[in-house]
Structure 1
């Protein structure tokens, strides 16, 4: 549905935070269609984070995504079962697991990243200037700080 003749639509009156939620939700809906049938709400996001950050721990994932350790562990088990991720005990802290993508996981992460980049291009996120992106990052940081207070 496109806006014609300067008619108002639901997005004109939607609160800003609802716009962000709507975009995020539609991104997830789009990625559900991915041919790999990987859960992009949890597994896919975690795989991409592991791909982008070598030697990430389970605790790091929990902190990054605001998820419980149990939710992270469950998703990681699925990724391990599919041979996308390896968990190894940290040599410096035996209670901590370090995560790395397998070759199969790296290949999938590259494919998922490409699909997400294509979506961002289709909706125009790639056209946002760096200042706008940095402002959104700052808002995200501040929102997390306020919650932690």
Structure 2
């Protein structure tokens, strides 16, 4: 919805971090509109990451998303209850769990990835050049590093 000639565009004066927040919030709202994936907004991110990587542990997932181990454990419990994910004890470290998607989880992860790609295409993220994407990744890294100092 592009503003008319004489209208003020709220996005023109919005600070950059607010723009990022607005995009993220609208992505979550978009995800909730999809009847196939209700309650999968946050867990869906975890599911897609588990599906994408091999030998991922709960601790790895907590580090990737900057979430507490408790938050990850609760989300994984939900994913296990819905039979999307299973935890297996690591053969090399019996105190560590390795996460795997089930057949049902793989199917949902593929659907979620397709939905994400569709959303990114609809809003134009897929048209960003690699330099811009790289700059945004660097900003994300630095924003995390500042918190660790």
Could you say which TM-score interval applies, normalised by the shorter chain?
Answer: over 0.9
Divergent runs of 4+, >4 A: none
Structure 1 segments unaligned to the other structure (5+ residues): none
Q: What is the aligned partner in structure 1 of residue 88 from structure 2?
A: 88
> Which digits, 9 at most, give the CA deviation of each residue in 1:57-103, with x for residues without a partner?
10011111111111111110111111100101111111111101111
- Give the alignment of 1:56-95 within 5 angstroms: 56-95=56-95
Contact 1:61/1:72 (<8 A) preserved: yes
Are 2:148 and 1:145 equivalent residues in the alignment?
no
Looking at structure 1, the residues matched to 25 and 145 of structure 2 have their Cα atoms a distance apart, in angstroms, of 24
| CA displacement at 1:6 relative to structure 2 | 6.0
Q: Which residue of 2 aligns with 1:41?
A: 41
Over 3 Å counting, the alpha-carbon distance change for 1:92 and 1:38 in structure 2 is: farther
SS at match of 2:83: coil
TM-score by length of 1: 0.95
Relative distance call for 1:40 and 1:20 in structure 2 (3 A) is farther
User: What is the aligned-residue RMSD (CA, Å)?
Assistant: 1.2
User: How many angstroms apart in 2 are the aligned matches of 1:16 and 1:40?
Assistant: 27
How far 1:36 moved relative to its partner? Answer: 2.3
Contact (CA 8 Å) 1:51, 1:101: kept in 2 or not? yes
Name the counterpart of 2:100.
100
1:20 and 2:20 matched: yes
Q: Distance in 2 between matches of 1:35 and 1:92?
A: 40
TM-score by length of 2: 0.95
